[in-house]
Amino acid sequence: MDFTIRAATLEDCKDVARMITELAEYEKAADHVEITQKDLEQDGFSKNPFFHGIIAEVPEQHKSKDGHSKVGYSLYFYSYSSFKGRAVYMEDLYVMPEFRGKGIGKALMRKVAQLGLAAGCTQLNFSVLDWNKPSLDFYFSQGCQDVTSDLGYHYLRCEGDALEYLAQGDP
């Protein structure tokens, strides 16, 4: 099947918001999604954007059962390793279920890798849920390393009241 990989624009935010919800359902995390189309428009397409996006699109005649021609996306941003330097972080890589197995996910990831290398990055980093074996198998087949299992790096997070309290400091 033909498909196109291209940079996301403001007009894609509605479909990206839809696919973020689909991804969250797959990750059993639908309750955690607070992002809206408007957030994506503001945060990704104003000055100093917080992320960049890539869209996978199929021709009209191949659109999904529900009528969608935007069938996959990736969100990424540039980051930094104090040991290795410039890096790119792939926040999401998603392809709608009925379009999987056609190379679309790999093409999206390839585009992030190309953009990262072009910007001088030496690492492409991302995170995966440990029960998501199909995704892990795909990433390992691409030569990726599990830095948590191999080196012991754990993700930590401060949010909500803890973040507010940390910022306020002692009275």
Active site amino acids: 139
Residue (of 39, 19, 21) closest to 104 by Cα position: 19
Query: Side chain identity at 7, as an amino acid letter?
Result: A
Rg (the chain; Cα; Å): 17
Q: Is residue 158 involved in binding a copy of itself (CB under 8 A)?
A: yes
The encoded tokens of residue 68 equal: 């969608």
Q: Tell me the three state secondary structure of residue 111.
A: helix
Residue 82 binds a copy of itself (CB under 8 A): yes
The least distance separating a copy of itself from the CB of residue 73, rounded to whole angstroms, comes to 9
Of 13 and 58, CB closest to a copy of itself: 13
- The CB-based long-range contact list for 42-50 (8 Å cut-off, 24+ gap) reads 44/8, 44/13, 44/75, 45/9, 45/10, 45/13, 50/77
Binding of a copy of itself at residue 45 (CB under 8 A)? no
Taking CB under 8 A as the rule, does residue 32 contact a copy of itself?
yes
18 binds a copy of itself (CB under 8 A): no
Quick one: 60 or 155, whose CB is closer to a copy of itself? 155
The smaller minimum CB distance to a copy of itself, of residues 63 and 110, is found at 110
In terms of CB distance, is 31 or 60 closer to a copy of itself? 31
- The residues, ordered by sequence, that sit 6+ positions from 100 with a Cβ below 8 Å of its Cβ are none
Which spans of this chain sit near a copy of itself (rule: CB under 8 A)? 20, 23-24, 29, 32-35, 39, 43-44, 50-51, 75, 77-86, 89, 91-92, 109-110, 113-114, 116-117, 122-131, 139, 142-149, 151-167, 169
